Chains A and B, each alone.
Chain A
Amino acid sequence: GESVGLHLPTLSVQEGDNSIINCAYSNSASDYFIWYKQESGKGPQFIIDIRSNMDKRQGQRVTVLLNKTVKHLSLQIAATQPGDSAVYFCAETSGSGGADGLTFGKGTHLIIQP
């Protein structure tokens, strides 16, 4: 079936640097996208979302970019901190048969080096 995937499984950045996590999706009908952060032993935590009628959305230290032409999503984290170390997942609405629920990408493990 259609899926959401990521380019890099692990990303290591220096504390204070900016990081970019990428995600490719294949369902052209997807209209809502979310980035989640998951720390060890916890459930996913919402970071930021974007709808298909937008190409950029900013939050506190985070920016999500959406390129519908190439079905690509990215999460930019500015001035990374040790607490940003986690696994990051992109997700999109399943959009199948009227059912809700999310389709998740594989995940990127972000490591912040001191």
Chain B
Amino acid sequence: AQKITQTQPGMFVQEKEAVTLDCTYDTSDPSYGLFWYKQPSSGEMIFLIYQGSYDQQNATEGRYSLNFQKARKSANLVISASQLGDSAMYFCAMREDDSNYQLIWGAGTKLIIKP
């Protein structure tokens, strides 16, 4: 069974609209962390936001917020006021705390922002 599922292979969104990228996960480890990374066409992986399994509040970083629903095992990324520069691949990843810092990756979502 897949541990990280991103169900949206691609999305088109109008500039300035908000966008939600879905991510669900599966783990039996009570302590874990969830990450979102952005990969532009240049290939670099850019860390966006982190949510720990014990964090009480949803993480926020500027225009990025993480809608963490622990009972549903979902960690959706919300980008507010999208910009053309947000066009990229977005990956959700999970680290289980007994994993030697390894990340389990989702398949990614290609986001295209339309002017």
Task: Decide whether A and B are members of one complex.
Answer: no
Residues of A within 8 A of B (CB): none
Residues of B within 8 A of A (CB): none
